[in-house]
Amino acid sequence: MAQIAQVSGRRLQVTETSKRCTVPNDPIARLMYYLNCVECVSCGSFPSYMTNYANYRQLSPAQRSNIIGTARRNDPDEVLCFVEADELPDNDANKFLQLSAQEESLTAFGIRGGGQAMMGLRRQLGNRQNLIKIMVHTDSWAHNNYYQPLRQLTTGGSDAASAALGMIMLLRALQMD
């Protein structure tokens, strides 16, 4: 006589996929790095000149203007795959995480006959399915790589652009209180 029992489930896995990088201390390079992060979590697709922050010195004035405009349209609070945290391990300012799921089943079987019994277990893993990639960041990361560079690049620009950015910064500060 044989008996079989099976249990199936789905496991959620979180894998850190962050890589260390050095971003030049230049406002346009920091915005390019910011857009690169947006692209890394599949929340945008930009021309390579917008995300290759190592080449920030080779940009034309039109490309610089496009980067600023694109960054304005991708505010950290609006990027769905950005999650703000008070602090992160290892004093990091941001981390990339891949969330995935995997089917798993466990089958137990038992056979009894002739006065003897035998039992076995079989664990089977299904294919891993990537669900979503997110970036967790601190408020200081957003300030250093988005808000401050935008403010620096729009100072001396049009009064309307500076006023709009000032209002965004003020509203953000009020939301945090």
Split into its structural domains, the chain has a count of 1
Residue-wise pLDDT for 115-125, tens only, equals 788 888 888 88
The interaxial angle of helices 27-40 and 61-72, nearest 10 deg, is 50
Region 89-109: mean pLDDT is 91
Which position has the token pair 């250093």?
Answer: 144
Residue-wise pLDDT for 114-151, tens only, equals 778 888 888 888 888 888 999 999 999 999 999 999 99
**What is the domain extent for residue 132?**
2-176
What does the pLDDT read at residue 86? 95
Q: Which tokens sit at 86?
A: 């008070």
Region 101-116: mean pLDDT is 84
Contact 115, 143 (CB under 8 A): no
What does the pLDDT read at residue 168? 64
Q: Which tokens sit at 47?
A: 């021309």
Contact 152, 161 (CB under 8 A): no
Q: Is the pLDDT of residue 152 over 60?
A: yes
Contact 31, 71 (CB under 8 A): yes
